Amino acid sequence: MEPVTLTVVSAGLGKPSSTRLLADRLVEAVVRRLDARTGELTHAEAQPRPGGGSVQVRVVELRDLATEIAHHLVTGFPGPALREALESVERADALIAVTPIFAASYSGLFKSFFDVLDREALDGTPVLLGATGGTARHSLALEYALRPLFAHLRAAPVPTAVFAASEDWAGGDAHTADLPSRIDRAAGELAALVGAAPAVRKPRDGSPRDEEVVPFADQLAALGVQ
Amino acid sequence: MQFGIFTVGDVTTDPTTGRAPTEGERIKAMVAIARKAEEVGLDVFATGEHHNPPFVPSSPTTLLGYIAAATERLILSTSTTLITTNDPVKIAEDYAMLQHLADGRVDLMMGRGNTGPVYPWFGQDIRQGIPLAIENYALLRQLWREDVVDWEGKFRTPLQGFTSTPRPLDGVPPFVWHGSIRSPEIAEQAAYYGDGFFANNIFWPKDHFKRLIDLYRRRFASYGHGTPEQAVVGLGGQAFIRRNSQDAVREFRPYFDNAPVYGHGPSLEEFTEQTPLTVGSPQEVVDKTLTFRESFGDYQRQLFLMDHAGLPLKTVLEQLDLLGEEVVPVLREEFAKGRPAEVPDGPTHAARLAQASAVATAGA
């Protein structure tokens, strides 16, 4: 069985950043869920899994790519490090995307990264959305800003999006489930989508394949040209 | 193998002097540049087509017709002709006319353009870009190949009993390239007709263009026009040359840093590493250009962008001296080495006429 590729996009600016902290917690929960599932599958198929490591995680820290992202906006093509990051997002079986909430929405850096991503790169990709902010009053930005963005990209965001306010790193409040249980619920939703009847996905190396090209005779026929 | 230059025709302020040429000066400069290209032994001059400032070449056949009268050997071409928003009937007429005036020294490159508003300005819908490119070109081909055309399509008034005049010179239509930055559909179109495919090659790292060209070569062969190696490929490139590499970098940097297309982005060093741009000595331009063959296979036409970003005419003419005298002769020699005999030369009217005659004789 091919290892599952999990790519994480973190748009935190601090070092260390609470956005990255949330991203790491989400990764850990998703990997745990996927490992549990792969274990069951392996057991059912009665085949030992060679060498373990059924999930390959790649973390993309947008802070390190900030200059290349700006250059891409200007020149229309990615530098080497950004290109590698974009490809890892395109190739991912599942994506975790986490941003700080700035001025009532995702950060500009976060949006710029998805602006330069190929428009079809996330077609059908399961995505777990996460965000951080100083107060829980910003939490709905996940629903009114991030979720529509990923709907536009035709990704498949899972129902639970995880917001971590400052107080969540302590006990949270009395009215909502605590952060670990929200993380766990979202991770379960993401793991359930990985490998489950994937939507039509384009080849992940981005190259046009012969069979992808509409034969020219068909293009002419569609226009009624002889 | 053909070597030449292509111009965007931009009016750009020289960042070192703060002065921009007038439109008239820029247009006359383009003529001077074309004449220089012939003088230093280049094969091709190609002009862009634009319909908005700061660009001047809205009327390519006027410019090329004038240059035709001022030159004797230079092939006149376009980079690109807007197949989406020009009436294909007018393209057929204009370029057949130019063919006669230039004694066959004409070919052209089809493109869709990169300026959105040009579509509505010319009464078209940008969402129909690819279908327009396909239908219009199919009509253009028919107008050049059939004396009397009946036509009905989606995008223009039908034609009944229409003859495009003048007829192509010697009954041989101009060779056509299709230029594209990212559309496999256009590579497929070029392959289908056995036309040339031109990869601008300037704005992206080469892997992207390699995938498009490989696709074009495979499809060219599958449509029965020859082997993949016989497909007709053209490439862009750009260079700033001084005998001494450091002088080239020092002189070009302000133009690079302020260039309309990529200025205020990556450094000159990053950009030269990631794209075909070379800023350096003639030998460095030779070395970089030779890598194109390694990436894309033996090809037919290499065009350089030399006159942009506000470079003064005097500098551009010096650049062409260096390109024509110290770069291209070495490239001709090097590209000839190990070039398989079955790889075609760059297209010329004479060769196409000979081929057409041979086909006609064989068929008789």
pLDDT digits (tens, 9 = 90+) for B58-88: 999 999 999 999 999 999 999 999 999 999 9
Q: Best interface-test mutation with A: which of B186, B262, B269 has the largest number of A CBs within 10 A?
A: B262
CB contact under 8 A, A213 and B188: yes
CA distance A203 to chain B (A): 13
Digit-coded pLDDT (tens) for B92-113: 999 999 999 999 999 999 999 8
pLDDT interval class at A66 (50, 70, 90): very high
Percentage of chain A exceeding pLDDT 70: 84
Q: What pLDDT does residue A43 have?
A: 46
Q: What pLDDT does residue A51 have?
A: 39
Q: List the one residue out of B272, B329, B260, B316 whose CA is nearest residue B115.
A: B260
- The CATH code for residues B2-363 is 3.20.20.30
CB contact under 8 A, B208 and A77: yes
Q: List the one residue out of A133, A55, A60 whose CA is nearest residue A94.
A: A55
pLDDT interval class at A160 (50, 70, 90): very high
Q: Which of residues 180-209 of B touch A (CB under 8 A)?
A: 184-185, 187-189, 191-192, 203-205, 208
CA distance A216 to chain B (A): 6
Contacts of A76 in chain B (CB under 8 A): 203-204
Beta-bridged to residue B303, according to DSSP, are: B4, B236
Q: ipTM value, please give it.
A: 0.81
Least confident of A48-52, A187-191, B147-151, B338-342: A48-52
Q: Best interface-test mutation with B: which of A86, A116, A209, A225 has the largest number of B CBs within 10 A?
A: A225
What phi and psi values does residue A77 have, to the nearest 5 degrees? -140, 155
Q: What pLDDT does residue A53 have?
A: 61
Digit-coded pLDDT (tens) for A91-149: 999 999 999 999 999 999 999 999 999 999 999 999 999 999 999 999 999 999 999 99
Name the CATH superfamily for A4-223. Answer: Flavodoxin domain (3.40.50.360)
Q: Is the pLDDT of residue B337 over 60?
A: yes
Contacts of B203 in chain A (CB under 8 A): 75-77
DSSP-assigned letters across all residues of A158-221? -S--EEEEGGGGTT--SSS--HHHHHHHHHHHHHHHTTSSPPP---TT-PPPGGGSPPHHHHHH
Q: What pLDDT does residue A195 have?
A: 73
CB contact under 8 A, B203 and A77: yes
Q: How far apart are CA B11 and CA B26, in angstroms?
A: 7
CB contact under 8 A, B184 and A215: no
Instruction: Tell me the pTM.
Output: 0.90
Contacts of B270 in chain A (CB under 8 A): 71, 79
Q: What pLDDT does residue A208 have?
A: 54
3-state DSSP: chain B helix, strand, coil percent, rounded to 5?
A: 50, 15, 35
Q: What pLDDT does residue A46 have?
A: 39
